[in-house]
Amino acid sequence: MNKFLRGLSLWLVIIIIAVWLANIIGKPGKEGKLTYSEFKNIIKTGKLIECSIKEDSITGVYQDGDEKQKFKTVPLVDPKLIEELEAAGVKYEGTKRNWLGVVFFSFGPILLFMFFWIFLMRQAQGGGKQALTFGRSRARSQIGNNKKKITFKDVAGCDEVKEELEEIISFLKEPKKFQRLGGKIPKGVLLYGAPGTGKTLLAKAVAGEASVPFFSCSGSEFVEMFVGVGASRVRDLFERGRKNAPCLLFVDEIDAVGRHRFSGIGGGHDEREQTLNQLLVEMDGFDTKEGVILIAATNRPDVLDPALLRPGRFDRQIITPNPDLKGREEILKVHARNIKMSSAVNMKVISQRTVGFVGSDLANVINEAALLAARKDKKSVEMNDLEEAIDRVIAGPERKSRVISDKEKKITAIHEAGHTLIANLIPGEDPVHKVSIIPRGPAGGYTLQLPLEDKNYHSKTELLNKVTILLGGYTAEEEIFKEVTTGSQSDLSKATGVINGMIRECGMSEKLGPLSFKKKDGEVFLGRDIIQQKVYSEKTAQIIDEEAKKMVMGCVQRAKKLLHENRDKLEELARVLVEKEVLEGEEIKRIIKGEKEPGKVKKEKKIKAAKNNKKTKDTDKVKEENNDLENNLL
């Protein structure tokens, strides 16, 4: 606002000066310039009408034929001029010299030039200051921030991480408590984990809980196109931290500046390495007694430079894991605080359905459910809204506008029925919670299993069962239609990934034994990986391929056998799917067991009872007619 007023006042001054100059200079005049002798001659001939005598000029009007002409001439020393004017009866006036005007016209341009020079210089100096501050850190300070603070109450599903960070805060609040036995405060804390597990949220909670200054920035803010800017910003960040000690510094996505040095193909990035080197020096340089702790977050700890991860820099490396069943339920409750939920909503069931979801996914589920309920003008979010939101997050929105032929619908039903039937026939597998043939996102249908518990370890049998279920749709198409379609593409990719993981990483091949042939997942930027030799020979690679094919074909044969023996159940399940499009868990179990729908059972009983009543009535009527006939004969 102040800049706007300054700019407005400047333009007003410029306009006023321009108008004043226009008035002083006047409009373009039509006065004719005369010599002094011509002026004297006009007086003698009696043509002069009036004149104005100034120290530097004489102006006036004279008669030139039928017209009046304005004139201007330069005066000379002439004591008799006034007498001649009075003798000729000419009106005249005299004016004193305007010293202010003289000064302005003499020095005005110089003053105006100086004014604009000073203004431009100030602007240039301001730009210079901005250029000089280019190397300053862009870290945002949380000192005196009146915004709504995020605390540990807003973070759920990672109690162990919260405990570690609470201890860091207590280090800063009561350092003597931990130093009295000679211990040192940690210099750095690295938070790493999958995207969406709440690393940045935890840092914000630390800022909300700590009563010390908090500076936050992103790793990408250090590196610019100008050489030396990144290192300068690192120095400035830690200098600000020392001035406000005790304090916390937070760097998000630190892998932007902390990657392995000399990791590019043919050489390193000098500017990035210079920034990393300065970060290493600063972290190793400041004293622990200063009370400056660096918290960093990354999704890729594997690409960070080893010098950055050593003790003395990042003393603590804390993983933020995917939440378990209880953690997901707590996270759902945190995000549902400000949402109007129906009393019938069971967060435990929702947490069971969201296996593998991280905090950001769960927040998205709650938000999607609220939007769906609002779209339907509901007063609160109900259970079916949350179920629909989960399906949207997993597979995308329903594509109701997509026109599907009866043939494609039957193929999809057979495919999903194959998955569902095998999942129910294999003992010990997670029950199928829902199966649908309504297209969602890229998928034509989906089968959703509901795990009864979270598993951290999987046996070879469990993994082979999973592959068999994945191949259920493929084998069902082959069993019914005697050919397969492209609908199994995603299933085959997942099954191949599981089998390769079993052989290459988990040592689950009897032929290869307990060896790991895992390939690194790093990108090409890790230059040393290109020249690294293979960890296994061509012969071993051939054996790996043979073992993978052997395991997959074993699962295919198992799936074929199960579907062939239960073909009637497969066809019935597909028929009901075509009819209803979506089936829930209890209905799926009833169809596989061959039980009829409760409503149909009641209807059939009523029809049977009605038939029995009619038959009884008809029998009684016949008996009555026979008795009447006998009586008549008698």
Residues designated catalytic: 416
Phi-psi region of 171 (alpha: psi -120 to 50; beta: other; left: phi over 0): alpha
Within 8 A by CB and 6+ apart from 286, the residues are 187, 238, 241, 242, 292
Joined together, the tokens standing for residue 146 give: 């009146």
Q: What is the spatial distance between Cα 181 and Cα 175, in angstroms, rounded to a whole number?
A: 11
Strand partners, 249: 215, 294
Q: What is the spatial distance between Cα 492 and Cα 485, in angstroms, rounded to a whole number?
A: 12
Within 8 A by CB and 6+ apart from 504, the residues are 516, 517, 518, 519, 544
C-alpha 397, offset from chain centre: 20
Q: What is the spatial distance between Cα 421 and Cα 130, in angstroms, rounded to a whole number?
A: 69
Q: What is the spatial distance between Cα 282 and Cα 284, in angstroms, rounded to a whole number?
A: 5
Q: What is the spatial distance between Cα 169 and Cα 293, in angstroms, rounded to a whole number?
A: 10
Q: DSSP class of residue 440?
A: B
Within 8 A by CB and 6+ apart from 69, the residues are 32, 61, 62, 63
Joined together, the tokens standing for residue 543 give: 């054996």
**Cis peptide before 246, with omega less than 30 degrees from 0?**
yes
Q: What is the spatial distance between Cα 538 and Cα 455, in angstroms, rounded to a whole number?
A: 35
Within 8 A by CB and 6+ apart from 494, the residues are 470
Joined together, the tokens standing for residue 243 give: 């001035």
- What is the SS3 string spanning 43-86? HHHCCEEEEEECCCCEEEEEEECCEEEEEEECCCCCCCHHHHHH
